Structure 1
Amino acid sequence: MTVKVSVVIAVYNPGKYVEDCIQGLLRQSLTPDEFEVFFVNDGSTDETPARLDRLAAEHPHIHVIHQDASGWSGRPRNTGIDAARGEYVMFADHDDWLGDEALERMYEYGKANEADVVIGKMAGIGRPVPQELFRVNRPRVSVANAPLMDSLTPHKMFRREFLAEHNMRFKEGRRRLEDHVFVVEAYLRAKSVAVLSDYLCYYHITRDDGSNAGFQRFDPVGYFNNLREALDIVEELTEPGPLRDRIFSRWLRNEMVERLRGKRLLKLPEDYAEELYREIRGVVTERFGPGVTANIAPVQQVVAGLIHADLYEDIRALAEWEAAIKPTGTLDSLTWENGHLNIGFTSEYQVDDAPMTFRKDGERDLLGLPLSDKALLALTEQDIALDAPVGASDVDLVVRHREDARQYYLPVTSELHRVDAGDGSFRLRITADSVLDPETAAGGEPLTRGLWDLHLRIKSCGWSKETRLGAVRGEDVEAGRLAALTGEPRRMVLPYFTDGPGNLSLDVDQHTNKLEREAVTLMDPAAAVVEGSAVRLPLALAVEQAGAGEPVQLRFERKNVGKFPADAVADGSTVTAELPLEKLTGMRWAVRIGVPSADRGEAKWTRLPVDVVVDAEGRAKVIDRHTPPAKPAPKPKSAPKKKQAPRPLWRRAAGRLKRALTNQQKNS
């Protein structure tokens, strides 16, 4: 059988982190005869080589190539390319891992779209990954019509014959940005690039020991000399003009301007920051004209203009101001309707805990930046305006899996509001409504079992910042925070607020015991009543009646006595059950609710905050379970006994004498 995919992994002292990579490969949905793996050991000195040799001995489709240390990942990746036999070559890092169906899905998607390069959706665990690129599937795109330049890491599939045709190899030796040079050349030579966004294919992780190669401080001189090599490739393969300027703007934005903004600049040692600035300015003034600067966001253009004008002090002053910017969000409403969770919220940027403001100049909206007169003049001479495109501001709401960082954009309808702030300035507030359907929120598929967090991201005037939602919320939100049963088979979706900050999250399909922890909120024990022989429990479950059978069950339990089920009927947010009084009489019983679980295939039982007490006559009542059981009535005290007078002394002496004579007779 033809090998579909060859996976190439450069390996150098990954330690325990290689295990996740290995397990991800062993779980692949492609059969072992459909793909092969090459671990290229680049002179590791830990236990990894022996571990990989044992792995290869157990799995014929996994191979290990040992070579002397080369100092970086370029040479081992090239070794893997030379050994590969697959139609496509997939590069992965030794401390990352693949989604279980990644290779199969990416291969099929690439074949279907005749792609030379296939990019699978990425998740960042503790590190950033592209966002806009993976909003939708992009079957046949190029750098001219898609934000491919947002992703220049090599963790993609490349058609092997395409690499051979253009003799494409990674730059070797200890260096930086060899992946940029390789990937941008592939983008520009490819006839078609396919972006698969509806399945999470690749997991980027941040190692606990902080030793990811990309996170290490670099030598600015060597780094930007390596970056010039990527620029050289672009100049070789494009003509001067808008496309080249747009491609160049990626490096101006990410590798230069963003390194000189906000906390990212301020946390650097001052001497290193100044050296970094000098090297950045060298590239900017050599290679980037006004057309490149025009392709980046307004505030980024300001920083680029200050670099051109050599105004480093103004760059630092602006960084200090930007470091104080933070996004804020208020959760205004939360309601279930027809199995959908409706979320209303308001968002706004703040600076130093006060709302960010913009200036008005006639019909123009202007950025209120802390710049010197010299800086303002220099920007004017470069035709860099301080106009603030507030009308293009927007907000996203993202649901993100807490463990593996899978995330999905929710549909949002937003509205911009200008709020007068006095002195000719105004604030910008964004109100928004979003709908979360648990059965389609994961890119058209159901949210899987687990904890999912809600994040909002404000995009305005070149700032794109993210925060959690829910810590600040309206007074009426709690009333709408119900648990819902959705899907078929049914499972519970429970919105809750996290401990501490109080951010909004979802527990899907009872991943934790949060239902029991939240039961006091979901049910008021004082409102639970017995009517005749039926108990009515006002449980805040937004229950839908569609589907076979009742969605919830009740039972009454007492240790060492038994468990007695009861027929339950759910009606809106009330659960009613007929009490089996003849079995419960004379005792106090715990009440448990059985909620369906799609993952378990059966109900998961949770204790409610109420108990049922049935007296000897069969009369029942509901009490708070934390109420201690009634103590039995104390027995009446009997009359005190009269004290007897002590025996006379002669009687006690006679008794002792008698006992002594008896003992003497026994011993004689």
Structure 2
Amino acid sequence: MLRTNPPRVSVIIPAYNSMPELTKCVTSVMEQTLGLDKIEIIAVDDGSTDGTGDELDRLAHTCAALRVVHQANSGGAGGPRNTGLDMADGEYVFFLDSDDYLGPDALRRMVAMADENLTDVVLGKMVSVGGRAVPTAVFSHNQPRTDIFSSHAYRTLGCWKLFRRSLIERLELRFPPYRNCEDKPFTAAAFLNADGISVVADYDCYYSRNRENGNNLTLTAADLVHRMDGTRLCFETVARYLEPGPRRDRIMRRHVEWELCGPLRALLPKESEQRAREFFYPQFRHWARSYATDGVFQQLTPPDRLIVHLLRADRYEDLMTVVRNAKEDAARGNIVDKGRVYWCHPFFRDPVKAVPDVCFDVTDRLPVHHELDEAAWTGEGGVLRLAGHARIESVGALEPESRLILRPRGFEHPDIRIPVAADETSGFTADMDLSTVDSGAPLGPGVWDLYLDVRARGVSRTVRLRQARTDPSGKRTAPPKREVVTVPRPGHEPTTARPFFTPHGNVSLEIRLTEDEPPCQVTGIAWDTSVPATLIVTGRLTDGPSRHPRPTSLRAETDSGAVREVPLLYAQDGRHTGFTARLPVRELPPAHWTLTLRTDEPSRRIPVPPTKGLTGTHWFRVSRLGRPYYAKPLPRGSKGALVLRVAPVRLTVALRRRLGR
């Protein structure tokens, strides 16, 4: 295949004695829906002796997109990856281990995510084959554009990701020549400098598996000696790119837990006494003193705090005692003292050891098991009854001092604490009279989040009140809206209360002045699949009181005052009256457009709420010589409404699209 344009993606495969898994690995790239005209495969045989090189040559004869390099064994995966990087021509680079394979649509989806959101790194959902551990938290949902401080992305520092190659070259990134942990500092540097990170979580992109013969490099090079250089470079990389402070502490915590405390606890006791004391211990102590700041220390679990404390205090013998007995000591249980819960470790309050109590304090880490069982209005008034159960693990039954807490979201107001009735089975019931709950006054307008202050044996833990259970359709049913009737008093206007569940099942309460109660609800926002760059907004008139006229049009407005409007078309849908509006976004000039619903009251506009499911879209504008444009949703605007950015695609991307790549 004669390539006339640079590939979109360079897939780099380091291979050493990779049979028989190698064949599926390579063919999974050949079968990508993105198309081989947009992919180059660079497979580097790192001195294999099991036929890996011959199999790569055979596959190359069947696929012109596959380039094979044979080189002397380098001792790790970093060397062949660097060879591939030096040869790569793609706009993006993807590293695929020869043990693993891709889902057929993986690269197309990841490239589309990077293109639409202009992100530098894309994580594709990983799947375990044969029990190999893979990260899961970061793949709970699609994330078009995020960063390491707003997601769990930094928990996965393996290099099996899509990287924008310009980022790699700008940072002059290459893999260090280590047998283990060589990819962590590489990925960490990319994460710390990336202009945005995307996550594809709705498709199984990367299948991670153990080899049949068990000789995965992470298993054969798992000793401490193979980890130390990579660990040191991880700490140095974070220190290089982040200034001291809370942001650095948050990232350093990951390395203190996973690269310092974990391997020290699991592997240091396996070393000889001399090597442990003279070689490994000084390095661990240096990292603890240099990078485990007080801010990091406070975030650690008690077992890790104890290790860091002993390292800082230069107490080698005590450290070795702790790590050798770690498994046994982990099961020793807890003790309650003066409202705090402590781990019953042998060193706890031993006057000879003199270890601070903070190294054993587990109070803030004890799980609180709780569930909302009932949420309903009682009678005809504004009394909302909430009932459920709650307990603090390993402490005791719920006590009468427990409280339900109403906490304002985004505005100033003291927390409102409401007594709960507790029973001996850790059940609770709370009745909130919204007309008098605020020290005899009605609950004020705004969103109030509900928390539970769970108390047992003097120990207090505050958790978000939630309902984990859903109905067979996966939904939770909240009580309907209700107008709160109060005794007329100056300064207190009639309000409408709307209990609701957040997407995670947390309970919240929205209070609106009845005069401000919106006459409608937006139920759907999506791009028309038949007409390019046309946004469809659907909704319905709301039940309950409203003193405002219903909306008449969908309005798009810029900060400079430019306005476009399209009418709402109404139709009866069962018991409800629904509406639809179709906005031709392709006709909007470049700008940030805020979307609202307009009513006949000039000052009354209803925000069109942002939605996580809305992605960007592209189209070609004939009036601009066929230049491509895009529209993408931005974070919530100042009016709490959906904002669309309309702009031309960058010329380099436009050229690539015009060439059919």
Question: What are the superposed Cα offsets for residues 5-49 of structure 1, whole Å, 9 maximum, x if unpaired?
Answer: 111011111121212312322332222212221111122222111
Do residues 18 (structure 1) and 22 (structure 2) align? yes
Question: What are the superposed Cα offsets for residues 540-598 of structure 1, whole Å, 9 maximum, x if unpaired?
Answer: xxxxxxxxxxxxxxxxxxxxxxxxxxxxxxxxxxxxxxxxxxxxxxxxxxxxxxxxxxx
Residue 103 of structure 1 corresponds to 107
CA distance in structure 2 between the partners assigned to 1:159 and 1:395 by the alignment: 44
Flag the 1:216–1:115 CA change in 2: closer, same or farther, 3 A: same
Flag the 1:16–1:215 CA change in 2: closer, same or farther, 3 A: same
Do residues 202 (structure 1) and 206 (structure 2) align? yes
- Could you tell me how far 1:305 is from its partner in structure 2? 1.8
Flag the 1:437–1:65 CA change in 2: closer, same or farther, 3 A: farther
Aligned partners of 1:122 and 1:129 also within 8 Å: yes
Residue 160 of structure 1 corresponds to 165
Residue 214 of structure 1 corresponds to 218
Q: Secondary structure at the match of 1:95?
A: coil
- Could you tell me how far 1:318 is from its partner in structure 2? 4.8
Question: What are the superposed Cα offsets for residues 608-653 of structure 1, whole Å, 9 maximum, x if unpaired?
Answer: xxxxxxxxxxxxxxxxxxxxxxxxxxxxxxxxxxxxxxxxxxxxxx
Q: Which amino acid aligns with 1:85?
A: D
Q: Which amino acid aligns with 1:157?
A: L
Two-structure CA RMSD over aligned residues (Å): 3.8
Residue 437 of structure 2 corresponds to none
Do residues 371 (structure 1) and 347 (structure 2) align? yes
CA distance in structure 1 between the partners assigned to 2:65 and 2:389 by the alignment: 51
Residue 59 of structure 2 corresponds to 55
Flag the 1:420–1:5 CA change in 2: closer, same or farther, 3 A: closer
Aligned partner (choices 37, 44, 49) of residue 48 of structure 2: 44
Give the number of the structure whose alpha-carbon radius of gyration is greater.
Answer: 1
CA distance in structure 2 between the partners assigned to 1:127 and 1:425 by the alignment: 43
Question: What are the superposed Cα offsets for residues 99-123 of structure 1, whole Å, 9 maximum, x if unpaired?
Answer: 2221111111111111111111222
- Could you tell me how far 1:233 is from its partner in structure 2? 2.4
Aligned partners of 1:180 and 1:230 also within 8 Å: yes
Aligned partners of 2:147 and 2:197 also within 8 Å: yes
Aligned partners of 2:349 and 2:355 also within 8 Å: no
Q: Which amino acid aligns with 1:195?
A: V
Aligned partners of 2:44 and 2:71 also within 8 Å: yes
Residue 113 of structure 1 corresponds to 117
Normalising by structure 1, report the TM-score.
0.52
- Could you tell me how far 1:277 is from its partner in structure 2? 4.3
Residue 294 of structure 1 corresponds to 298
CA distance in structure 2 between the partners assigned to 1:418 and 1:12 by the alignment: 48
CA distance in structure 1 between the partners assigned to 2:263 and 2:224 by the alignment: 12
Aligned partners of 1:102 and 1:200 also within 8 Å: yes
- Could you tell me how far 1:421 is from its partner in structure 2? 7.1
CA distance in structure 1 between the partners assigned to 2:306 and 2:35 by the alignment: 53
Flag the 1:95–1:395 CA change in 2: closer, same or farther, 3 A: farther
Q: Which amino acid aligns with 2:116?
A: A
Aligned partner (choices 144, 148, 155) of residue 143 of structure 1: 148
Flag the 1:192–1:414 CA change in 2: closer, same or farther, 3 A: farther
CA distance in structure 1 between the partners assigned to 2:467 and 2:272 by the alignment: 42
Do residues 181 (structure 1) and 185 (structure 2) align? yes
Q: Which amino acid aligns with 1:151?
A: T
- Could you tell me how far 1:317 is from its partner in structure 2? 5.3
Do residues 82 (structure 1) and 57 (structure 2) align? no
CA distance in structure 2 between the partners assigned to 1:267 and 1:208 by the alignment: 29
Structure 1: gaps (5+ residues):
327-350, 397-412, 441-668
- Could you tell me how far 1:150 is from its partner in structure 2? 0.8
Q: Which amino acid aligns with 2:150?
A: N
Flag the 1:174–1:180 CA change in 2: closer, same or farther, 3 A: closer
CA distance in structure 1 between the partners assigned to 2:182 and 2:89 by the alignment: 23
Aligned partners of 2:32 and 2:107 also within 8 Å: yes
Question: What are the superposed Cα offsets for residues 271-306 of structure 1, whole Å, 9 maximum, x if unpaired?
Answer: 476664453223223443222222323332223223
Residue 92 of structure 1 corresponds to 96
Question: What are the superposed Cα offsets for residues 510-565 of structure 1, whole Å, 9 maximum, x if unpaired?
Answer: xxxxxxxxxxxxxxxxxxxxxxxxxxxxxxxxxxxxxxxxxxxxxxxxxxxxxxxx
Residue 270 of structure 2 corresponds to 268
- Could you tell me how far 1:323 is from its partner in structure 2? 2.4
Residue 242 of structure 1 corresponds to 246
Q: Which has the higher contact order (CA 8 A, sep 6+)?
A: 1
Matches within 5 A, 1:482-493: none
Do residues 169 (structure 1) and 171 (structure 2) align? no
Do residues 362 (structure 1) and 338 (structure 2) align? yes
- Could you tell me how far 1:66 is from its partner in structure 2? 1.8
Flag the 1:420–1:132 CA change in 2: closer, same or farther, 3 A: closer
Aligned partners of 1:220 and 1:279 also within 8 Å: no
Residue 193 of structure 1 corresponds to 197
Aligned partners of 2:42 and 2:69 also within 8 Å: yes
Residue 386 of structure 1 corresponds to 361
CA distance in structure 2 between the partners assigned to 1:166 and 1:207 by the alignment: 33
Matches within 5 A, 1:410-429: 415-417=390-392
Aligned partners of 1:253 and 1:300 also within 8 Å: yes
Residue 285 of structure 2 corresponds to 281
Flag the 1:372–1:165 CA change in 2: closer, same or farther, 3 A: closer
Matches within 5 A, 1:494-505: none
Residue 133 of structure 2 corresponds to 128
- Could you tell me how far 1:376 is from its partner in structure 2? 8.7
Flag the 1:55–1:366 CA change in 2: closer, same or farther, 3 A: same
CA distance in structure 1 between the partners assigned to 2:73 and 2:221 by the alignment: 21
CA distance in structure 2 between the partners assigned to 1:363 and 1:204 by the alignment: 46
Flag the 1:419–1:393 CA change in 2: closer, same or farther, 3 A: closer
Flag the 1:143–1:418 CA change in 2: closer, same or farther, 3 A: closer
Q: Secondary structure at the match of 2:96?
A: strand
CA distance in structure 1 between the partners assigned to 2:210 and 2:276 by the alignment: 24
Residue 399 of structure 1 corresponds to none
Flag the 1:191–1:47 CA change in 2: closer, same or farther, 3 A: same
- Could you tell me how far 1:213 is from its partner in structure 2? 1.2
Aligned partners of 1:321 and 1:370 also within 8 Å: no
CA distance in structure 2 between the partners assigned to 1:324 and 1:157 by the alignment: 42
CA distance in structure 2 between the partners assigned to 1:107 and 1:219 by the alignment: 37
CA distance in structure 2 between the partners assigned to 1:260 and 1:219 by the alignment: 11
Flag the 1:163–1:183 CA change in 2: closer, same or farther, 3 A: same
- Could you tell me how far 1:368 is from its partner in structure 2? 2.7
Q: Secondary structure at the match of 2:128?
A: strand
Q: Secondary structure at the match of 1:255?
A: helix
Q: Which amino acid aligns with 1:143?
A: I
Q: Secondary structure at the match of 1:389?
A: helix
Residue 344 of structure 1 corresponds to none
Structure 2: gaps (5+ residues):
372-387, 398-455, 476-661
Residue 69 of structure 2 corresponds to 65
> Bigger shift: 236-245 or 213-222?
213-222
Residue 658 of structure 2 corresponds to none
CA distance in structure 1 between the partners assigned to 2:138 and 2:351 by the alignment: 34
Q: Percent identity?
A: 31
Q: Secondary structure at the match of 1:299?
A: helix
Aligned partners of 1:109 and 1:194 also within 8 Å: yes
Q: Secondary structure at the match of 1:90?
A: strand
Size of the alignment, in residue pairs?
Answer: 391
CA distance in structure 2 between the partners assigned to 1:251 and 1:31 by the alignment: 38
Aligned partners of 1:265 and 1:273 also within 8 Å: no
Flag the 1:256–1:58 CA change in 2: closer, same or farther, 3 A: same
Flag the 1:295–1:373 CA change in 2: closer, same or farther, 3 A: closer
CA distance in structure 1 between the partners assigned to 2:9 and 2:51 by the alignment: 27
Q: Secondary structure at the match of 2:363?
A: coil
Q: Secondary structure at the match of 1:198?
A: strand
Question: What are the superposed Cα offsets for residues 225-255 of structure 1, whole Å, 9 maximum, x if unpaired?
Answer: 4422232222222211112222222111001
